[in-house]
Amino acid sequence: MSGELSPIDKAKFVAAKRSVDYVEDGMRVGLGTGSTAAWMVRCLGELVRDDGLKIRGVPSSTRTAELARDVGIEVISIDEAKWLDLTIDGADEFDGNLNLIKGGGGALLQEKIVATASDQMIVIADIGKEVEHLGAFPLPVEVIPFGWQTTRALIEELLVSMDVLGRDASLRMNGRHPYVTDEGNYILDLHLGRIGDPHQMAMVLNQMPGVVENGLFMDICDIVIIGHGNGKVETRDINEGTVEEDRLDFVESDNLFSDLQD
Helices 62-70 and 35-51: crossing angle in degrees, nearest 10, is 30
36 annotated ligand binder: yes
pTM (predicted TM-score): 0.93
Our answer to whether residue 244 is catalytic in this structure is no
**Contact in structure between 75 and 69 (CB atoms under 8 Å):** yes
Determine which one of 46, 93, 111, 142 is catalytic: 111
Q: Is 17 annotated as a binding residue?
A: no
If phi over 0 gives left and psi between -120 and 50 gives alpha, with beta otherwise, what is residue 135? left
Per-residue model confidence as pLDDT tens digits over 126-181? 999 999 999 999 999 999 999 999 999 999 999 999 999 999 999 999 999 999 99
Least confident of 1-15, 105-119, 174-188, 244-258: 244-258
87 is in an annotated binding site: no
Statement: residue 231 has pLDDT above 80: yes
pLDDT at 64 > cutoff 60: yes
Asked if 72 and 49 count as a contact pair (C-beta separation under 8 A), the reply is: yes
Containing 206, the helix (H) or strand (E) segment is helix 198-206
32 a known binding residue? no
Facing residues of 237 across strands?
Answer: 223, 242
CATH of domain 7-130+219-247: 3.40.50.1360
In the predicted structure, residue 36 carries a pLDDT above the cut 70: yes
Mean of pLDDT values over 39-46: 98
Give domain 139-212's CATH number out of 3.40.640.10, 3.40.50.300, 3.30.70.260, 3.40.50.2000.
3.30.70.260
Domain boundaries, the chain: 7-130+219-247, 139-212
pLDDT over threshold 90, residue 261: no
CA distances from 18 to 12, 43, 98, 138, 181 (A): 10, 9, 18, 28, 30
